[in-house]
Amino acid sequence: MTVQICKGAFDPWQSIQTHQRDNLTDGQYGATATFVGTMRDFNEGDDVCAMTLEHYPGMTESQLEEIIAESKAQWPLQDALIVHRVGEMHPGEPIVLVACWSAHRAAAFDACRFLMEALKSRAPFWKKETLHDNSHRWVEKNTDGYSSH
């Protein structure tokens, strides 16, 4: 169960492979559910050219560890990994990775989505967008995670 805060760009697919190699045993897990959030070049109808992610060192990590502990209590997980970028970033760059490993798929799917929703509602991160006219604005709230039809 690992939480990482990255000050520079990270490759989520590399993070998954490295974590899997170092922490999991081949043949013991049957299901890996992952989610990667990537910076878009549009939001709320405007073009966005850069973003700065602020966090609360100490509290952010402990909140992420707490939500992982909650997921372990609820589902039979073999492992979970959360990586979150902070600092300045640009469109196309990964912001967050959540990965869950379990024997069967239901637990991996459920836990991955739970972690992502819990992270977005409880972990202290804040996004500030830079628009094309070089103006800045704080993102005020996250989009709904359950209405997609």
Q: Which residues here bind a copy of itself, judged by CB under 8 A?
A: 13-14, 16-17, 26-42, 74-76, 91-92, 102-110, 112-113, 116, 143-149
Q: In this structure, are strands 2-6 and 77-85 parallel, antiparallel, or unpaired? A: parallel
By CB under 8 A, name the binding residues for another protein: 37, 53-56, 58-59, 62-63, 84, 95-96, 105, 116, 119-128, 138-142
Q: Which one of another protein, a copy of itself, none interacts with residue 91, CB within 5 to 8 A by kind?
A: a copy of itself
Nearer to another protein by Cβ, of 7 and 21: the residue is: 7
Give the other-Cβ count within 10 Å of 35's Cβ: 15
The beta strand positions in the chain, using DSSP E, are: 2-6, 31-38, 42-43, 46-55, 77-85, 87-89, 94-102, 125-131, 136-138
Give the CA distances from residue 33 to residues 2, 17, 116, in Å, rounded to whole numbers and listed in that order. Answer: 15, 13, 12
125 binds, among another protein, a copy of itself, none (CB under 5 to 8 A by kind): another protein
By beta-carbon proximity to another protein, the closer residue of 103 and 139 is 139
